[in-house]
Every structure is written in structure tokens, then in C-alpha cells.
Structure 1
Amino acid sequence: MTEPLACFILDTGHCLASEHHLIEGGARQQMACHSLVALLRHPQHGWFLWDAGYAPAMLEATRRFPYLLYRLATPLRLRPELAVAAQLPRFGLAPADIGQVIISHFHADHIAGLRDFAAARFVALTEAYQAVAPLSGLAALRRAFIPALLPADFARRVHLLPAFNGPPLAGLGPTYDLFNDGSALLVRLPGHARGQVGLLAHTTRGRLFFVADSCWLTRSIVERRPPSSFVNFIADDPRSLRDTINRLHGFTAANPDIQIVPSHCPDALARLLEL
């Protein structure tokens, strides 16, 4: 294996949601669900992102019906300076320095920053893109997808991955080795969104497993408590979502050295945020 990936965790803003929706048995109180992005550097292949998070484009895209409903359902608390592109200068970087963006899934809070990276290649699972590409209006909103957030040339710049056939992660299935050196392994994490993937990264901060929205709170995995049935409205496959949480519980129990990083977990963000 090559040397570990440099890794910086960025907060791109948050929405508000009730804890009792985020996890079964949760309190009826609002929580801030931050949208986490990982800025990573491979020693040979350079800088890349895990998701693109929130960005000002999100506010513009949700001004009008039907996408206004997204903002009403998840009240947004965004600041322009938190967009990934706006944070890059403190690392001595510009958007053109980002070679690729790995898209965990196509929900709006994970792709709102994509248009800021005009030179990047995008990487996603084929089934994830095919599930949303033809959608618009209420049909898109039903999958938490906002078409206007994709760059106009997205189809030309995206590298769509077929079914994975690399060595499996125990209990989670086959992997895709992003750089063919074991430093960044993608694995399917079905249930929340069609074609959702996670990233197991060997970083300077240890082994981090970015599990996207397999759950919203780390304790969902620790305690095997999925989101409430309320979220079945947007879940691609509620049964698979529960199964994925159970599988992640088994995987983490067997690998206690690996840190699980859900994209919206306040505890994970507080532990790893790059200040």
C-alpha cells in the first residue's frame, strides 16, 4: 500500500431535522445536520473530494416550487464561506486543483457544490446516476434530487462505475479500488439511495469509513437503531437500509480501529472537523 491519504474534514453548512426522525426512539428535538465533505490527497493522483456538500447553488435551486418543498422540509442554514470552493484557499488550493469528486449518492445535500469544480472528473455508481438522470419536478424531488445542481456537462465528465468485483469487505460485499493500491476502497451501501457507496480510506488520521447516509447518527450503527419509519418516504429501499445498518454494526464490531463517519453525524463532525 502507498503512503496514507492526507485528509481534511470540512463542514459545508447544515439543515435542521428532528432527532426522532433521524433515529428510532430519538427525542422530539431539533438537531443540526451538517453536510460533511472530505478533502483528500493521494500522493500520486493528487487532490479529490468525497462528496461536494452544500453550496450557494442550493439556495438558488430551492427558491421555487417544487424544489422549495425541499427547503421547507429541511430548513437550510447555509453560509457562502462554508462552500468547499470557498474553503480551499486556506489549504493553498483552488477549485481547479481538485482532480475528481466521488459522489456517494445524488441527494441534493451531497451534490450542491459540484458546479464549483469545472475541471474535475466525477465518479459515481452507474445505477445511482441512471436512477436520477431522467427525473425532474416532483419525481426528482421524491428522490431528494435537484437536477439544476448538476453541471451542464456532467454526463461528459462523469466516470460511471459498473458493479464492483474487487475483494470484499467482510459482510459488506465487493469493493472497487479507486487507485489500485488499497488506499481508497468503494463499497455499495444500499437502502438510503439507489447506488449509494461508501469509502474506506487509509488516511493520515487513521482508517476512516465514510458511510454517507447509511445512517445519520453514528449511534444508529453502534446500537443497531435505524432512522424512524417516517423517512421511508425518501428511502430507496427501507428493508435494505436496515440490513446495511446491521451489516455495518457487524463490520465495525470486528474492526474497532476503523472510525465510522456518517455524512451528517454531529459527533463525527465534532471529532474530525478541520478547524
Structure 2
Amino acid sequence: MVTDNKETIKRFKLYTTGSFLGDEAVINNSKKSIVERYYIFSYYLEINDFKILINTGFSEHVKPSTDLKTLKLFQRQDYKVYESLPSQLMKNHVHPDEIDYCIITNFASHHIGYLNAFKNATIITSSEAYHDFITQQVTNNNLQLSFHVMPDDFKERIEFVDDFVKADHPILGTGNKVFNQDVIISYQLPGAMPGQIGLMLKFPELNIFMCSDAAWCRSNIEKDVLPTKRLLKQAYNGELFIDTHAKLIDLKSHNEDPLFIIPSHCKKMDDFEEVMQLLDAIN
């Protein structure tokens, strides 16, 4: 396990492993239908020479079929699978066997598409997300798909964020210092998925809050847009989904340090390339 020494994130890169089409009328409650492409993100970072992934992306192994209830929401899914996460990592001189930890924010199939490629990684998640995944596997199509990419020794490699040192935030509430360090802190973001966590990544000059599926797009937070009724119907707990989303808007408005709030999915906004360049430049 990473030591207790206070450290900084030494390398950071955002990877895109796939995308789908979503309708603004559904996601942002737009008065007219505007179909745009939403990208699926994974993160790579290094702390103390430990190599860490946050979510392992979208893959052909878990490409959803268009008749799943969770995808009818978007009407024109048109899912695209890009170059695999292991292949992209190797182009940056990181072999899949070198990954020490995979932090999974929830067990939706597009978050863990290549999980079985990282054979030496400890899998970190919340105890609630893990237990829901194990016990509800036959009742949720999205979770059923996830089992296609589970390592055989999955249960032996699990570690829970709940067991790390606690931390308190005035807006996000009680969290846990992942690896018992201040550099990554997990917070519960209930509503969209069971046991979902978000991760505050602390850099010298700014913070990034990876909010998982607590918001569908960064522009929703920037424009103070709460989840639509159609999104709420698909959420694990609609009431908690709204509460969590409101916290993100509050976080954006009251944060004193420079902060980017980035979901697991995001459309290509006006400043998308600028944001990607900024994130890729952090080392």
C-alpha cells in the first residue's frame, strides 16, 4: 500500500475509450432535441512510483445492446469503442502488468471495460458498490455486462475506500483519504448508482473532482442544471441524485481553490480541447 507520507500526483493523463450519442432534451432539459457525442473517460496517475487507474474504460466486451433499459434513455446511442485502454497506456510506456491499483467509482459496465487486463492491480471501491454489484448481478443489465470483464480472483483483490482514514468536507461531507494521503480523497456521491464515489485529486495549482456519474456533463454543473425527470427515472435513487447534483453545483460556486469538476462522461464543449490540454499538461 502507498505510504502515509504526504505526496503529490506526479503524472496524470486522461484517456477516452469510447463515446455515445446523447440528447440535450433528455440530459439538460433543453426545449429542443440536440444530439451530441458524449465521451467516456478513464484517468491514469502516479503517486510515490505507484501506477493508478481511475476506472478502466469502455470495451467491446461490455458494449451494451440497444435494447437495454438503461440505454433507451438516449434514443440514438451509436456507441463507439475507441482504442483499448491497455494499448493507449503502452503507447505511453506503461504496461498493464505495471498498474498497481484500479479505483472503480461504480460498477457500470462502461467504467470497468478492461479491468481483467490489469492482472497485478488491487481493486479499490466502496463497500456498498461492491456488495451491490455482487448481490444484484442478475437484476441489472448494466451490472450483468460488467461480469464479462471480472478477473477470476476479483474478490481476493478488493480493498475498500471505507477502510482508509476519514476526512471531512464542508459541502461533500465525510470522505476517506485514499492510501491515507491528502492527495486523493473519496466522497460518497449517492443517487445515480449504488455506492458511487467521487475523487478529489489535489495538484499544486488546482484541484480536480472526478464526480463519476453524479453529473452527466461538466456543462450541467457550470450552468446549474439539475437532473431531468427522465434521468431521475433511470437513477438508482432519484432523490439522492438531486441532492448530490446540488452539492456539485454548490461546490463549484463556493470552492476557493481553482477547481475542475469532471464527470465520467462529457460532451465536446467550447473549451473541451483547452481543458484536455490543461489536464494532460499536469505532471
TM-score range, shorter chain: 0.7 to 0.9
CA deviation after TM superposition for structure 1 residue 78, in Å? 0.8
Structure 1-normalised TM-score? 0.87
Q: 1:123 to 1:191 in 2, by over 3 A?
A: same
Runs of 4+ aligned residues of structure 1 deviating over 4 Å after TM superposition are 65-73, 142-145
Change (3 A) 1:141 1:159: same
Indicate the SS of the match to 1:57.
helix
CA distance in 2, matches of 1:27, 1:222: 20
Matched, 1:78 2:81: yes
From 27, 34, 37, the counterpart of 1:29: 34
Q: Match of 1:33, SS?
A: strand
1:34 partner amino acid: Y
Task: Give 1:166 shift.
Answer: 1.5
Mark the CA change 1:205 to 1:32 in structure 2 (over 3 Å): closer, same or farther.
farther
Greater mean deviation of Cα atoms: 9-18 or 197-206 = 197-206
Cα distance change of structure 1 residues 117 and 34 upon mapping to structure 2, 3 Å threshold: same
After superposition, the Cα gap between the structure-2 partners of 1:2 and 1:164, relative to the gap in structure 1 and judged at 3 Å, is closer
TM-score, normalisation: structure 2 = 0.85
Tell me the CA shift for residue 9 of structure 1. 0.8
Structure 2: 5+ residue runs without aligned partners?
Answer: 1-5
**Residues in 2 aligned to 1:88 and 1:164: alpha-carbon distance in whole angstroms:** 28
- TM superposition shift of 1:34: 0.9
The separation in 1 between residues aligned to 2:218 and 2:70, in whole angstroms, is 27
Contact 1:106 1:145 in 2 (8 A): no
Q: How far 1:13 sits from its partner (Å)?
A: 1.1
Describe the shift of the 1:130–1:78 C-alpha distance in structure 2 as closer, same or farther (beyond 3 A).
same
Contiguous gaps of at least 5 residues in structure 1: none
2:20 equivalent in structure 1? 15
Is 27-36 or 187-196 further displaced after alignment?
Answer: 27-36
Deviation at 1:67, TM superposition (A): 6.0
Return the letter of the residue paired with 2:183.
Answer: S
Question: 1:222 deviation in Å?
Answer: 2.6
Name the structure 2 match of 1:272: 276
2:132–2:194 CA contact under 8 A, matched in 1: yes
Does structure 1 residue 211 correspond to structure 2 residue 211? yes
Distance of 2:143 and 2:232 partners within structure 1: 11
Percent identity reads 20
Alignment of 1:1-275 (within 5 A): 1-25=6-30, 27-42=32-47, 44-59=48-63, 62=64, 74-79=77-82, 81=83, 83-137=84-138, 139-141=139-141, 146-162=146-162, 166-203=166-203, 206-255=206-255, 257-266=258-267, 267=269, 270=273, 271-272=275-276, 274=280
1:106 maps to amino acid: F
TM-superposed deviation, 1:185? 0.6
For 1:156 and 1:51, the matched residues in 2 are separated by: 18
Q: How many residues align?
A: 268
Task: Call closer, same or farther: CA 1:87–1:259 in 2, change over 3 Å.
Answer: same
| 8 Å CA contact 1:208, 1:258 repeated in 2 | yes
